Amino acid sequence: MSAASSAAVRVPLVERDQVPPEVADLYDRLYADRGVVPNMFKALSNVPPLVLGIAAMLKPLMAEGALTGWYKELLATHVAALNRCEYCVVAHRRLAGLRGATPEQVASLENFESGPFTEKEKAGFRYASLLHGSGNAIDDAAYAALSEHFDFHEIVELTAVAAAFEFFPRINSALQIPVTPLPEGSAEPSHAGAVDEIAGCVAEGAGLRELCVSVLAKGYLRRPSPRRRCRPKGGEWTASGLVFLDR
């Protein structure tokens, strides 16, 4: 991994009270979504239009789309590891788990060929590994192998994510941006913690929607795909697809 975690950051990490209002709004959205403002955004906020533009790009890049969000996070983690960027690996490995990757998938990513992945998922990791060497490494044979598993919508998303995480590690490593600390209380989510959280919500008379939001935010549950997440049905909330993390 890079030496960024043990070296002094090379640019200021700009705090919320030091940024213009539009960047402060971005900080608030990041905090609401992640429980913390990542240090990369604080560093990039030295140039406000740049941080706003990168945030605007990241939103559709990593959103649920033709590819699931958890798979995009694992792709990001894989490419970041190839670039030896500790900052990106730590951040996106955690996000992968929160968005739906199993602990086994996260743990086996370094040796994905023997990990609990489908042939399609492995093909995507292989493609990202080739792209890491050069865009010219994607010859007709490599593209044909990828096309056996992915349609063109998926290929565009996969290529964009893999290429973007050649870009972000270079920023974080060159500027020696320190790894963002985990949000308070999120280091060791567990079944016991989930049970306590659910009991507290029930005692307070919370509905299923509030319960889902609470346990997801604290990392006790894996966020399901859009087809399986909590949703209103007939005026009531259902929790199909929520999966406890065994950590």
- Are 202 and 222 part of one and the same domain? yes
Name 129's Cβ contacts closer than 8 Å, sequence gap at least 6: 78, 82
List the alpha helices (DSSP H) in the chain: 21-34, 39-44, 48-62, 69-82, 86-99, 103-107, 119-133, 140-147, 152-174, 191-203, 208-217
- Are 30 and 106 part of one and the same domain? no
Q: Which of 12, 46, 62 is the last residue of a domain?
A: 62
Cβ–Cβ under 8 Å, residues 101 and 73: yes
**181 in a structural domain:** no
Task: For residue 163, give the nearest of 194, 130, 188 by alpha carbon.
Answer: 130
Is 46 in a helix, a strand, or coil?
coil
pLDDT tens figures, 72-101: 999 999 999 999 999 999 999 999 999 999
Q: Which of 146, 174, 202 is the last residue of a domain?
A: 174
- Are 17 and 58 part of one and the same domain? yes
**186 in a structural domain:** no
CA distance 126 to 143: 11
The number of distinct structural domains making up the chain is 3
- Are 110 and 169 part of one and the same domain? yes
- Are 58 and 73 part of one and the same domain? no
pLDDT values of the chain reduced to their tens digit, one per residue, 247 residues: 554 545 799 999 999 999 999 999 999 999 999 899 999 999 999 999 999 999 999 999 999 999 999 999 999 999 999 999 999 999 999 999 999 999 999 999 999 999 999 999 999 999 999 999 999 999 999 999 999 999 999 999 999 999 999 999 999 999 999 999 988 766 544 444 444 555 555 556 655 545 554 444 444 444 443 333 343 434 433 343 333 333 2
CA distance 70 to 101: 5
CA distance 42 to 27: 9
Task: For residue 68, give the nearest of 117, 23, 35 by alpha carbon.
Answer: 117
- Are 160 and 201 part of one and the same domain? no
- Are 109 and 167 part of one and the same domain? yes
pTM, 2 dp: 0.74
- Are 81 and 15 part of one and the same domain? no
Range of the domain at 239: 191-244
**127 in a structural domain:** yes
**Angle at CA 47, nearest 5°, toward 41 and 51?**
40
What is the β-pairing status of strands 231-233 and 221-222? unpaired
Handedness of CA 118, 123, 129, 135 (dihedral sign): negative
